[in-house]
């Protein structure tokens, strides 16, 4: 990843207009503010790549980034929640279901906020439609080192969070959910980014 150039490939509001191709794709999904741009930037070792894409006008579209020339495509899906378009889910699920070169969806969960109803709906849709996916915890630095003393009581321990997430996977994971849950943070220090890269490489067979 790091030694290969990354470039912005395309952005598409209307999924029908997305150019076809054979390059393997993995997609990143999550509620707005989950830390998706930060994880993508960390993955691509590029400070502004994904953030540029969240300029007004680009937040509601799917953006594609090419890694290593034409070896791999990372798809930054529009964040859901907070006034996203009503048709969001249906269009995205249909894209993931029908796209031949699509390999795996990474669903980001902020462990401080936990699963919301919309996350559960996404997971159920993945399972119903047979879309392969894996859970990624974002911002796990917040679990380990709550800055303020008063937050310490309210901050769950990472092991508890893992137990909860594993429970959710048992109940909702279905046949398309990968059992392995990845713990990451993008700031103040990067953690789990290489593990996520390995998961992407395994998913795409690269
Ligand atoms: P997006 O809306 O999902 O793309 O989220 P962003 O990547 O823009 O991040 C949302 C907010 O969370 C920003 O204020 C980030 O600085 C913060 N953030 C993102 N990743 C982390 C992380 O790993 N740890 C902490 N503590 N904050 C993070």
Query: With a 6 A CB cut-off, is 36 part of the ligand 1 pocket?
Result: yes
Q: Which residues of the chain have pLDDT under 50?
A: 52-53, 57
Query: With a 6 A CB cut-off, is 32 part of the ligand 1 pocket?
Result: yes
Query: With a 6 A CB cut-off, is 78 part of the ligand 1 pocket?
Result: no
Residue pLDDT, tens place only, 50-82? 764 455 545 667 889 999 877 899 999 988 765
Which of 28, 29, 33, 35 to mutate to test ligand 1, by most ligand atoms within 8 A of the CB atom? Answer: 35
Query: With a 6 A CB cut-off, is 151 part of the ligand 1 pocket?
Result: no
ipTM of the complex as predicted: 0.98
β-pairing verdict for 6-12 and 72-76: unpaired
Which of 38, 39, 78 to mutate to test ligand 1, by most ligand atoms within 8 A of the CB atom? Answer: 38
Q: What's the mean per-residue pLDDT of the chain?
A: 84
Task: Name the fold adopted by 6-204.
Answer: Rossmann fold (3.40.50)
Instruction: Write out the H or E segment, with its range, that includes residue 183.
Output: strand 182-183
| Closest Cα to atom 25 of ligand 1 | 139
Query: With a 6 A CB cut-off, is 186 part of the ligand 1 pocket?
Result: yes
Q: What pLDDT score was predicted for residue 53? A: 47
Q: In what order do the strands lie in the sheet with 6-12?
A: 6-12, 62-67, 72-76, 25-30, 102-109, 133-137, 182-183
Q: What pLDDT score was predicted for residue 102? A: 95
| Closest Cα to atom 12 of ligand 1 | 35
Q: What pLDDT score was predicted for residue 135? A: 96
- DSSP helix/strand/coil, 100: coil
Q: Please tell me the distance between residue 186's alpha carbon and the centre of ligand 1 in angstroms.
A: 8
């Amino acid at each position: 990843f790091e030694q290969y150039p990354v470039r912005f490939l395309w952005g598409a509001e209307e999924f029908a207009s997305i150019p076809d191709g054979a390059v393997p794709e993995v997609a990143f999904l999550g509620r707005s503010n989950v830390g998706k741009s930060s994880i993508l930037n960390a993955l691509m070792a590029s400070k502004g790549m994904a953030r540029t894409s969240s300029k007004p006008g680009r937040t509601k579209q799917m953006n594609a980034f090419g890694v290593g020339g034409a070896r791999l495509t990372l798809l930054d899906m529009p964040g859901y929640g907070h006034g996203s378009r009503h048709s969001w889910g249906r269009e995205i699920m249909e894209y993931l279901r029908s796209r031949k070169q699509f390999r795996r969806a990474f669903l980001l969960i902020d462990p401080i906020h936990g699963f919301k109803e919309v996350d559960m709906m996404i997971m159920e849709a993945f399972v119903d439609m047979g879309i392969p996916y894996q859970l990624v915890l974002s911002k796990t630095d917040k679990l380990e080192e709550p800055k303020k003393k008063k937050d310490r009581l309210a901050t769950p321990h990472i092991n508890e969070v893992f137990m909860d997430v594993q429970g959710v996977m048992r109940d909702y994971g279905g046949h398309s959910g990968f059992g392995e849950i990845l713990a990451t943070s993008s700031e103040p220090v990067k953690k789990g980014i290489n593990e996520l890269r390995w998961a992407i490489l395994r998913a795409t067979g690269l």
